[in-house]
Amino acid sequence: MFINQTYIEGLLAAAKAAPSANIDSILDRAERMEGLKHQDIAALLMCEDEGQLARIFDIAGKIKAHIYGNRIVMFAPLYVSDHCVNSCTYCSYNCRHQFNRKKLTMDEVREEVRLLEKMGHKRIALEAGEHDGLCPMDYILECMRTIYDMKFENGAIRRINVNIAATTVENYRALKEAEIGTYILFQETYHRPAYEKVHPTGPKGNYEYHLTAFDRAMEGGIDDVGAGVLFGLADPYFEVLGLMLHNEHLEERFGVGFHTISVPRLCKAEGMSLTDFPNLVDDRTFEKIVAIIRLAVPFTGMILSTREDDAMRQKLLKIGISQLSAGSSTEVGGYALREAHGDTGSSQFEVSDHRSALDIIRALLDEGYIPSFCTACYRSGRTGDRFMSLAKSGQIKNVCLPNALMTLCEYAADYGDDAFKASAHAAVQRMLPEIASDKVRAKTEACIAQIQADGRRDFYL
């Protein structure tokens, strides 16, 4: 098995016993954006020298700026069912928790999608609890067909990432055929004893089946997989090494590692108390972890959700995060409930950023970022190793920026008020000269003119 508890603990102990030994040479390599192996990561995680830590943050900021520029890809979750047979102790949807559970009908899915589209979203993460009886794969596939079939005046949901329980190769193949974007599955914790403790009953308690889900997903043809751990369940440094070893395993076996890494921190949820979790991660450690992951896997997108407040989001955007959720509801049918009654409160976990999608997107623009609604790679077949080779050669930037500018113009035209349109226009004019190729810049300008003058939509490179 590619995760070995004794091996990881040994690496951390050795790095702790000899801190600072090779840090400068590791950071020189990180600065060249070559990525780092898990042995290097262990050394960086144990680094406490203020000067070296400052250099870690500095390099993370440089990598972020060089590879991702000021673009931030936007998405929102769509919870379709909270039926669940598992009893994850950190989740309010666990089967021991009594509440009125829901699974959306297709009409309700359409209503949620209508409201997500009204917020401007084009990319969603479809989420469901694990319940083969009440929420089988056929239901997930029906949801995907329903969503992809919906067309609005302002476009459509153009890509569905799916976050559902570990399953079979056959089911992953069916998700691939249904045009899944990224298959997302958080390991929650790589530390087996902690994993078994927080998953006391249900199929999710099978550590190895969960850990090998991405292998089966890739065998089923899904080549974009998104990983994550729930920071706070075990030693956070152990978790980072677990992530890195998992990524290396997929690279060795399939030629491509994680497409994205999510970095959720444990939050308060209905029916649990944070005092039961002794490994909560403080802000400084969390920032250090995000920066080190940025150094380790420069070309892997990093995702932050509305679990974090605006102040933390601002810090992490500078050192690693490339995708954000906005206007999120973590409740089944939550967008319709919010529209009718305001926030209702029976969500999977408590969110910290309660601003509307438009307010978050407006704030990003004001801070100098380019909110992007791009979904181009998935639709152009740039997935898996094809995507990674373009990313590693630096060529992906040639399409990311034009796509970001075109989708921002669409968003401003369809959802922005006059002030937002003016800010977006200024940002686009500021960024257009950054497109290196004259030909691509001219094409982007022509598409933007058509978006603004003719109401045309959905241009992408």
Query: Using CA atoms, how far apart are residues 208 and 334, in angstroms rounded to an integer?
Result: 33
Give CA separation, 160 vs 35, 126, 371, 426, in Å. Answer: 29, 7, 18, 31
Cβ–Cβ under 8 Å, residues 423 and 362? yes
Interface residue with ligand SF4 among 129, 228, 236, 242 (CB under 6 A) is 129
Q: Are residues 250 and 244 in contact, defined by beta-carbon separation less than 8 angstroms?
A: no
Residue listed under structure tokens 């080549």: 223
CA distance 302 to 109: 27
Out of 43, 72, 91, 233, point to the residue binding ligand SF4 (CB under 6 A).
91
d(CA 40, CA 62): 19
- Of 15-23, 38-46, 394-402, 443-451, the segment contacting ligand SF4 by CB under 6 A is 394-402
- Residue 372: CB minimum distance to ligand SF4, A: 5
Interacting residues with ligand SF4 between 218 and 247 (CB under 6 A):
none
Residue closer to ligand SF4, measured from CB, 37 or 101: 101
Options 36, 376, 424, 431; binder of ligand SF4; rule CB under 6 A: 376
Stretch that binds ligand SF4, among 20-28, 82-90, 109-117, 352-360 (CB under 6 A): 82-90
Q: Does 158 interact with ligand SF4 (rule: CB under 6 A)?
A: no
Between CA 260 and CA 212 the distance in angstroms is 17
How far apart are CB 163 and ligand SF4 at their closest, in Å? 9
Question: What is the x/- site pattern for ligand SF4, positions 179-218, by CB under 6 A?
Answer: -------------------------x--------------
Q: Pattern 330-349, binding to ligand SF4, x per CB under 6 A? A: --------------------
Return the amino acid letter for 232. G
CB of 324 to ligand SF4, least distance (A): 13
- Residue 140's nearest CA partner among 56, 81, 74 is 81
DSSP-derived secondary structure letter, 65? I
Determine the residue type at 133.
G
The answer to whether 280 touches 236, Cβ cutoff 8 Å, is no
- Based on the shown chain and the rule CB under 6 A, indicate whether residue 400 belongs to the binding site for ligand SF4: yes
Which has the closest alpha carbon to 181: 125, 130, 136? Answer: 125
CA angle 254, 215, 255 (to 5 degrees): 10
Q: Give residue for tokens 């034009």.
A: 402
* Smallest distance from ligand SF4 to CB 379, Å: 8
Q: How far is the CB of 431 from ligand SF4 (least distance, A)?
A: 14
| First-residue to last-residue Cα distance in the chain | 40
Choose, by CB under 6 A, the member of 130, 223, 224, 353 that binds ligand SF4.
130
If binding is defined by CB under 6 A, does position 63 make contact with ligand SF4? no
Residue from 47, 88, 281, 289 that binds ligand SF4 (CB under 6 A)? 88
- Candidate ranges 14-22, 38-46, 88-96, 350-358; the one touching ligand SF4 (CB under 6 A): 88-96
Site residues, ligand SF4 (CB under 6 A): 73, 84, 86, 88, 91, 93-94, 129-130, 204, 372, 374-377, 396, 399-400, 403
